Every structure is written in structure tokens, then in C-alpha cells.
Copies of this chain bind each other. A is one copy, B any other.
Amino acid sequence: MNFCIVGLGLIGGSVGLDLKGKPGIIRVGVDLHPENAQEALSLGLVDRIEEEGKALTEADVVLLTIPVNAIKALLPQILDVVKPDATVIDLGSTKSVIGREVAAHPRRHQYVAAHPVAGTENSGPRAAVRGLFNGKVNIICDRELSGEHHRALAENIFSMLGLKTIFMGADEHDKHVAYVSHLSHVSSFLLGQTVLDMEKDEKQIFNLAGSGFASTVRLAKSSPDMWTPIVEQNAEYLGQALAEYIMHLQRFQYHLMKRNTREIHAVLREANQIRRVLDRQEQEPKAEIVVK
């Protein structure tokens, strides 16, 4: 079976590593940048590199692991050229905009919309790591729009990567990830910028920052090329999440100005409840529940 991985960065490269040596799978890599492609090959992320047109028309499975604006632009064309029984899966972090782009495509049933919730703040072929997806959750969206065979194959592939698949509508997906993922990224990017703005002397940040700061701004190291289209495609729900976050910050600032100890403590204690969720996350494996 020919697997064509389009985009050999953190996600595509990590998929490639995990599929290495699986019987019957040939990993064919495609990347816009020849130097990335070459690096991915030398790192063993794929078995061979091929020119995009040839790779796509010969593929049994196409995995799209490129920025979401590129997925949006390429997906319809890819569905046009693949074999009539090929399965096309995207692994992007937004789902509604991409889904709408192919809603009326005659080959919509060959496409499976997925989002494995896994990653690191690094990017490029060298960022690929084995086991990145193991034990994590994968979300397949609008399952009813994918053909039975294609969805089953996609689920098998995700299961090989160690992912637990749950199901959701694309709109519901985008709303949830706006809060639990995209807002985290934006808050981290802008926290980084606020501190850089204030501390002109980077040596000072370096000396004074504890591990808490490093943890909070870690996501600000993420790739702007990848994140700009994600926040744009999810602008509506992310905008709502940002509005709520800003409201909480401003309310806190008001209590702080008033030196209202009781209110400040109440806010921190309430937020503290996130400990329950986080501690569970460290201890339990993610549940294999089916959402909706």
C-alpha cells in the first residue's frame, strides 16, 4: 500500500517514523521544499521522495500534514487526481473551513477529516519524534460524510499510531479546540510578546524567569507559518474565547486595583479547579468515549 505523506514536518515526519517497517506500507514523501524532503529521507521519515503529481496519482492513502491554508487550497485538487479508491486524510487543527471547501466535491466520500491532538512547539523534519501520537486523542469530524471503507481505513491507521479516535461535527470540533488549544497558543504568544516588550534586556528575562514562565510561554515557540492560518480559519470561535479570556483578565485587574482580597482569592480558587482535570490527565489514559 502506497502512503503518500504530503508535508514532512513535525506531524508528517512523526507519522512517517511510526509507520516505518509496518508490513505492506510504503511511505512516499512529498514536500514543497527540496531540502526538507532530502532531510526527511536521510532521517528515515519516509522510504522515498517523489514528485507531487506522480506520488498523488499512485497513492492508496494520502495524508495531508501541511498548514491548514495549504490543506484548504490543495484538498479539492488532490481529490480530483487521486485513484477512485484512494483515501485522503487531512490532519489539520481546524475542520469547518476545510470541510466546506469540499462539501460539494463528487469525491467527498474519499476524504476523512481528522485532527490528532498531539504536537510539540517544534517544527520541520528534525522535530519529528517516534511515539508522538501514542495514547493521545484523535478527532474524526463529520464521519457520516466519509465512505465506510475510507473511514475504517483511517481509523485503522490512527489506531496503528496509538491514537484513540472520537467523533464530532466539524463545527463542534472547532468550538472546543478554540478553547482548549487555540486560546492557549494565543495567550502564550502574547504573554511572550508582553514580556519581550517590557524586558528589553533579554539577559534579565533569562536570569529571572523560573520554570513556571518557561512552561507558560512554551507554545510561543510554535511556528507562526502554521499558526497564522489556524487562528484565521477558527477566527470566529477563537474570537469568542479571546473575548471571554479578556473579560476574566479585566475583572481580575479590577479586583486587584480595589485590593479586594476576597474576590481575588475566589477567582484563584475557582481557577484552581483545573487541577482536577490536569491531574486526571497525567494519571489516566484518555478514555475511548464517543462524543455525540
Residues of A within 8 A of B (CB): 117-121, 136-137, 139, 166, 176-177, 179-181, 183-199, 202-225, 227-228, 231-232, 235, 238-239, 241-246, 248-250, 252-253, 256-257, 259, 261, 264-265, 267-282, 286-287, 289, 291
The residues of B that contact A238 with a CB separation of less than 8 Å are 256
Q: Is the Cβ of A231 less than 8 Å from the Cβ of B217?
A: no
How distant is the Cα of A192 from the Cα of B276 in the complex, in angstroms? 11
Q: Is there contact, CB below 8 Å, between A193 and B270?
A: yes
Our pick among B137, B196, B257 for the contact of A235 (Cβ within 8 Å) is B257
Name 7 interchain pairs, CB-CB below 8 A, sorted by A: A117-B209, A180-B208, A181-B212, A203-B287, A206-B287, A215-B218, A249-B249
Instruction: Please measure, in the bound complex, the distance between the C-alpha atom of A197 and the C-alpha atom of B243, giving whole angstroms.
Output: 13
Whether B244 pairs with A259 at a CB distance below 8 angstroms is no
Contact of A184 among B185, B193, B216 (CB under 8 A): B216
For A270, the chain B residues whose CB sits under 8 A away are 193, 196
Complexed CA–CA distance, A39 and B243 (Å): 44
Q: Is the pair B207, A268 in contact by a Cβ cutoff of 8 Å? A: no
Q: Is the interface of A mostly helix, strand, loop or mixed?
A: helix
In this complex, which of A176, A257, A259 has the most chain B Cβ atoms within 10 angstroms of its Cβ? A176
Copies in the complex: 2
Asked whether, in the complex, the Cβ of B202 is within 8 Å of the Cβ of A271, the reply is no
- Inside 8 A of A264's CB, which chain B residues have their CB? 228, 231-232
Instruction: Report B-chain residues with C-beta under 8 Å of the C-beta of A228.
Output: 261, 264-265, 268
**Is B249 within 8 A of A205, CB to CB?**
no
A179 to B179, CA, bound (A): 24
A85, B217: Cα distance in complex, Å: 44
A291 CB contact (under 8 Å) in B204, B217, B278: B204
Question: In the complex, what's the smallest C-beta–C-beta distance from A145 to chain B, in angstroms?
Answer: 21
- Please name the residue on chain B nearest to A256 by beta carbon: B235
Flag if A209 contacts B256 (CB, 8 Å). no
Out of B211, B215, B220, which one reaches A271, CB within 8 Å?
A: B220
Are B209 and A180 in contact (CB-based, < 8 A)?
yes
Residues of B within 8 A of A213 (CB): 180-181, 184
Q: Is the CB of B210 within 8 A of A274?
A: no
Q: Once the chains are docked, how many angstroms separate the CA of A212 from the CA of B221?
A: 11
CA distance A271 to B193 in the complex (A): 5
- From B198, B245, B261, A249 is in contact (CB under 8 Å) with B245
Partner of A208, one of B181, B211, B223, B272: B181
Task: Please tell me if the beta carbons of B241 and A198 are within 8 angstroms of each other in the complex.
Answer: yes
Whether the pair A180, B194 counts as a contact (CB closer than 8 A) is: no
Q: A176-B204, A271-B220 are in contact. Are A191 and B184 (CB under 8 A)?
A: yes
Could you tell me if B204 and A272 are in contact, using CB atoms closer than 8 angstroms? Answer: no
Determine which of B195, B211, B212, B243 lies in contact with A274 in the assembled complex, contact meaning CB atoms within 8 Å. B195
